[in-house]
Amino acid sequence: MKILEEILADISRNRKNLEKLDEQSQKIKKDGLKHIQRVGLLRYNPFSDTGGDQSFVLSLLDGEDNGVVLSSLHGRDSTRVYAKGIRKGKGEPFVLSKEEEESIKKSKKGK
């Protein structure tokens, strides 16, 4: 009888430990969505008077498609850098250019 009680006590402890592990696993999974998971890079030439694809768009998104898009426009006389917030894969509050949208699509595909 004593052995059976010990086995039942072990089962009870194991069940509690599994519940704790499941809670921790769910928290880690939820927290993991907040980390940068998707990166997209697009190089392009926006101006006809410059050579090469010196301009680029870099998108950095988390597991919920929130993050930032960094755009660099390289011209003959200057280079300008812009940042736009991304919320659920859409520009917020700014409208995204076609290159920025393409970079986001690339990041979602993992390419």
pLDDT digits (tens, 9 = 90+) for 64-105: 999 999 999 988 888 899 999 999 989 988 899 999 999 999
Residues 91 and 42 in one domain: yes
Note whether 25 and 42 are same-domain residues.
no
| pLDDT score of 49 more than 80 | no
Same domain, 25 and 54: no
Q: Is 31 helix (H, G, I), strand (E, B) or coil?
A: helix
pTM of full prediction above 0.75: no
Instruction: Note whether 27 and 74 are same-domain residues.
Output: no
- Residues 41 and 57 sit within 8 Å (Cβ to Cβ): yes
In this structure, the strands spanning 38-44 and 55-61 are antiparallel
